[in-house]
Amino acid sequence: MSRYLRLLLVQLRASALLAVQYRSDFFIDGVISLFWTATAIVPLLVVFQDRALLQDWSMAEAMVVTGWFVFLNAILEGGINPGLQAVVEQIRKGTLDFVLLKPADSQFLVSTSRFQLWRVSNLLAAAAIFIFAFHRMGRLPSLGGILASALLLVAATAVLYSLWILTVSAAFFVVKVDNLTYLFGSIFDAARWPATVFRGVVRFVFTFVIPLALMTTYPAEALLGRLEASKLLFSLLGAAAFTALARWVWMRSIAHYTSASS
Amino acid sequence: MSLKGTVRAMPTLLRVGFSEAVAYRAEMLIWVLSTTMPFVMLALWSSVAHEQPVLAESGRRFGEAEFTAYFLTTFVVRQLASSWAAWEMNYEVRTGALSMRLLRPLHPLVAYGAENIAALPMRIAVCLPVVALSLWAVGTSAVPRGGLRWLAFLAALLGAWLITFLANVCIGCLSLFMQSSVKVMEVWLAAYFVFSGYLIPIELFPGWLRQAVDFLPWRYQIGLPVELLSSMQEPAGALPLLGVQWAYVLGLGLLAQLLWRKGLSRFAAYGG
Amino acid sequence: MISVRGLKKYYRVHQRPPGLKAALGALFHRPHVTVKAVDGISFDIRPGERVGFLGPNGAGKTTTLKVLSGLLHPSGGEVSVDGHLPRRREDAFLKKIMLVMGQKQQLLWDLPPAETFELNRAIYDVPREQYRRTLEELTSLLGLGELVQKPTRQLSLGERMRCELAAALIHKPKVLFLDEPTIGLDVSMQAAMRDFIKRYNEQHGATLILTSHYMDDVAALCPRVIVIDKGVLSYDGALDELVRHVRPEKRVVFRFAREVPQIALAELGKVVSVDSVSAVLQVRTEAVNSTVTRALSTLPVLDLTVENPPLEEVMSELFSRSRAAAEAAS
């Protein structure tokens, strides 16, 4: 265990070195995060121009969902995306073999191989949204709410990561699909609105198939102090199941890769 | 290459480019799937309009039908007015593959453009089901009539493609100056998503923002052609906007030329 | 055909010191140094000549080729190729030349090579009839056959390189620059490539400049060599002359009827290698005669041959000498 912790630290250090080299990224990432925050906020402004409530979400409450979206997006783009994007590249070039030769868990190695540390700026944007939203509501989240949403954040990260692993696993079977990453990003984009706003099939898909609800809506509800305990429990169980599934699929994909490549 | 030579070579360039697009059909399918944002937006906005139509400042009411027409058209326009030259150029500069292009007596920018255009038939094939779906969803009565409107739409679509392509080239050229211009492309894309009308019809923007957006290039990549085709914009009324669009085409064209020339002499100084 | 006068190519490169602390320092101040890739080279090449560029890694060979083909702008000096200034990259110039890089490819990766040929026909504006004849000739000379219909990614390295050469010759360039064209190929494939390149040069009178890590390539193809070391031209002339200059010794290879004591061998000359019944001696050229006579009279010689030292060894000695000289000077 401590060996993996040490490995993680080594990989983080390498990423820090890279981040320092590409210093202009700090500003560019800042600007991008500003724009993305705007893409998340502007639709809200438009919708709430002529109404106070949208499916019993007020504007400030919907903004809490947006806040979680920006937060998770930072985790996705800073911590999850870069490493796994590198895998897709490695599969294409055939250099993944070097990773598989190393005496450590392959999933761990590829997942931690690269981080985009400047994406931290997105976390600041998320914090600003939270502060603004709760200021508008004129209250503070309860301690229980914060705890529950922190738990859900862990669950959401696990689900996000697992979804990613599942997407990347596809790259083992259909080589030369480096834009898989964009596919995933565009689906995740739908998580910036409360899942309950969607109707019919779309809502079902976003709740159970691609559990976007779990990632942003539930944590927001928890922070607002209106998440039912059962939802919390199911979310945690669901996240655990998802992680296990992703792990299983990854192992299968690696097996497929090693047997198929020459 | 002389203009005549370029024109003579064009059919072959397009044909080979088309073969490449066919070879990359799996990739293209994934890419198309990743541009399904308009459908998500459609789901979202029609839910919103289902409760109560959204009222624009102009007084237009956006109901479910309006949103359906708008976002399905948006999807089609994005497919047609698309370019990926920036990524291509960035990749080729990084790997030195640009050298191989420079050895040929054909302007590399023409080659990039031909490759992008050659992929259009595949993209149109992808769009056909969506067009069929739109016709089924909103009825054939929504199809605009009148040659003038179609003419204006085609002019706007061509302008949209040119802006997209030239912006890609400009940003691609930047990779001749910096280690990677992919970041700059991300900034451009982020602004494009917000200000092009891709996520929300521009008419629904708050007033001050709407005016600002008219001066920015992005609304001419998506918004203008979509508005023309979905009858939110009258051809005559859209003339000033078309003027601004083509002014952007001209400006970006000149900028692309400049950046290419400067970038190339830098490339030749540092080597690839 | 080609004339180069005082060619210089300098680069300014940023230094990237290792370590997090140093990298943080580089945030504010980036030290850079000037690298003299090519520092004043002059030579002339006549039409139809085959010339080999020799030199250790980073000597400036590839840089020179890139300047000659117009990819790099020289920092100083004059370069002209068949009356053109390469840096202008005029269409007329580009249609006359081609640069083949063993490490880079122009073939479209996911399409059959035939598509790239067709594309090049259009780009170089080759008349149909001429294209058909050229392609026929290349197909038979390079043994392309069915290969051109398979997607490039499915070809082996050797097959791909053959197609790469064909794609480069569709427009019949008058000047052909070859940068490590046989890199990574197996020995028989290398030999086949050499044969083809030589035949192309002889049949079409094309001028040819070649860089290669494989001395055999240079020995087989290039009567004339130009040695570039640290950006400076250190030799320009016939290959044999260079060998004689660097290593004025010959090798005498003996086979004996029975084992011979080492001491007896050492008296004759420098022992390069020895085992039970054979030995290789190194002897000054003028002493070869006397050494052979002595050996025949004193040792149980079954047979013997006199050879030049292997080219690879000559080169490594040449380059290590120049390194030693540079170190002594600094």
Give the integer Cα–Cα distance in Å for A51 and C271.
99
Per-window interface: C 55-84 vs B, CB < 8 A = 63, 66, 69-73, 75
- Say yes or no: B11 contacts chain C, CB-CB below 8 A: yes
* Burial class of residue C205 in the structure, from the number of CB atoms within 10 Å of its CB (0-12 exposed, 13-18 middle, 19+ buried): exposed
Give the integer Cα–Cα distance in Å for A233 and A240.
11
User: Which helix H or strand E contains A107, and what residues bound it?
Assistant: helix A106-111
Q: Nearest CA to B18 among C111, A92, C154?
A: C111
pLDDT at position B272, please?
Answer: 47
pLDDT band at B54; cut points 50, 70, 90:
confident
- Say yes or no: B216 contacts chain A, CB-CB below 8 A: no
Cβ atoms B1, B106 nearer than 8 A: yes
Region B155-171: mean pLDDT is 96
Cβ atoms C9, C60 nearer than 8 A: yes
- Tokens 């600041």 correspond to A124
Tokens coding B58: 């102009």
A55: left (phi over 0), alpha (psi -120 to 50) or beta: left
Same domain? C230 vs C258 = no
User: Which among C243, C265, C294 is the end of a domain?
Assistant: C243
User: Which among C243, C270, C288 is the end of a domain?
Assistant: C243
Q: Give the strands of the sheet with C76-81, arranged side by side.
A: C32-45, C2-14, C76-81
Same domain? C78 vs C125 = yes
Residue to test with chain A: of C15, C16, C20, C152, most A Cβ within 10 A: C20
Residues of chain C scoring pLDDT < 70: 15-30, 326-330
Quote helix, strand, coil % in chain C, to nearest 5.
Answer: 45, 30, 30
Same domain? C14 vs C61 = yes
Q: Nearest CA to B41 among A150, A193, A133?
A: A193
Percentage with pLDDT > 70 across chain A: 92
Same domain? C57 vs C147 = yes
Same domain? C234 vs C95 = yes
Cβ atoms C64, C53 nearer than 8 A: yes
Cβ atoms A99, A106 nearer than 8 A: yes
Same domain? C204 vs C268 = no
Cβ within 8 Å, pair C124-B103: no
- C-alpha Rg value of chain A to the nearest Å: 19
Cβ within 8 Å, pair B9-C122: yes
Continuous H helices in chain B: 3-23, 25-33, 37-51, 64-80, 85-95, 98-102, 108-118, 120-138, 147-174, 182-195, 207-214, 223-229, 239-270
Cβ atoms C125, B9 nearer than 8 A: yes
Report pLDDT digits (tens) over B195-217.
898 888 999 888 888 889 999 99
Q: Give the strands of the sheet with C207-211, arranged side by side.
A: C97-101, C175-179, C207-211, C50-54, C224-229, C232-238
Residue B67 pLDDT greater than 60, yes or no: yes
Segments forming the whole domain that contains residue C142: 2-243
Count of domains in chain C?
Answer: 2
Cβ atoms C68, C81 nearer than 8 A: yes
Region B179-204: mean pLDDT is 86
At position C259, the amino acid (one-letter code) is E
User: Which helix H or strand E contains C272, and what residues bound it?
Assistant: strand C270-275
pLDDT at position A262, please?
Answer: 40
- Tokens 């009222």 correspond to B55
CATH number assigned to the domain comprising residue C288: 3.30.70
Give the integer Cα–Cα distance in Å for C163 and C111.
12
pLDDT band at A178; cut points 50, 70, 90:
low
Write out chain B residues lying below 8 Å of C106, CB-based: 100, 103
Same domain? C194 vs C269 = no
Same domain? C179 vs C286 = no
Q: What are the residues whose beta carbons fall under 8 Å from the beta carbon of A236, sequence distance 6 or more?
A: A151, A155
Nearest Cβ partner for C119 among B8, B16, B268: B16
Q: Is residue C23 a part of any domain in this protein?
A: yes
pLDDT at position B36, please?
Answer: 77
Cβ atoms C7, C64 nearer than 8 A: yes
Lowest pLDDT segment from A233-237, B243-247, C50-54, C240-244:
C240-244
- Say yes or no: A146 contacts chain B, CB-CB below 8 A: no
A57 phi and psi, to 5 degrees? Answer: -110, 130
CB pairs under 8 A, 24+ apart, for B255-264?
B255/B166, B255/B170, B256/B109, B256/B166, B256/B169, B256/B170, B256/B173, B259/B169, B259/B170, B259/B173, B259/B174, B259/B176, B260/B109, B260/B169, B260/B173, B262/B173, B263/B173, B263/B174, B263/B176, B263/B177, B264/B102, B264/B176
Cβ within 8 Å, pair B183-A180: no
As a residue count, chain A comes to 262
Residue B161 pLDDT greater than 80, yes or no: yes
Lowest pLDDT segment from A142-156, A180-194, C268-282, C302-316:
A180-194
Q: Is residue C316 a part of any domain in this protein?
A: no
Q: Count the helices and strands in chain A (H runs, E runs).
A: 13, 2
The ipTM estimated for the assembled molecules is 0.81
- Sign, CA dihedral A219-A222-A228-A230, equals positive
Give the integer Cα–Cα distance in Å for C33 and C11.
8
User: Which among C228, C243, C258 is the end of a domain?
Assistant: C243
- DSSP per residue over C43-110, as a string? EEE-TT-EEEEE-STTSSHHHHHHHHTTSS--SEEEEEETTB-GGG--HHHHTTEEEEETT---S-TT
Same domain? C162 vs C221 = yes
Q: Is residue C36 a part of any domain in this protein?
A: yes
- Say yes or no: C120 contacts chain B, CB-CB below 8 A: yes
Give C23 to chain A, closest Cα distance, Å: 7
Region A189-210: mean pLDDT is 79
Q: Is residue C271 a part of any domain in this protein?
A: yes
Lowest pLDDT segment from A224-228, B148-152, B226-230, C315-319:
C315-319
pLDDT band at B241; cut points 50, 70, 90:
very high
Cβ within 8 Å, pair A20-C23: yes
N-term to C-term CA, chain A: 33
Write out chain C residues lying below 8 Å of A92, CB-based: none
Same domain? C146 vs C202 = yes
CATH number assigned to the domain comprising residue C141: 3.40.50.300
Give the integer Cα–Cα distance in Å for B42 and A59.
20
Report pLDDT digits (tens) over C76-94.
999 999 999 998 888 899 9
- Orientation angle between helical segments B3-23 and B120-138, nearest 10 degrees: 60
Give C326 to chain B, closest Cα distance, Å: 26
pLDDT band at A31; cut points 50, 70, 90:
confident
Report pLDDT digits (tens) over A58-99.
888 888 998 999 899 888 888 888 887 788 777 766 677 777
As a residue count, chain C comes to 330
Q: Is residue C197 a part of any domain in this protein?
A: yes
Continuous H helices in C95-224: 113-124, 128-142, 157-169, 187-204, 215-221
Distances (CA, A) of C278 to A93, C82, C261, C281, C285: 48, 53, 11, 10, 21
Same domain? C47 vs C180 = yes
Residue B3 pLDDT greater than 90, yes or no: no
CA angle C83, C85, C91 (to 5 degrees): 90
Same domain? C299 vs C266 = yes
pLDDT, greater one: B78 or B32: B78
Report pLDDT digits (tens) over A99-116.
777 777 878 888 887 787
Cβ within 8 Å, pair A177-B27: yes
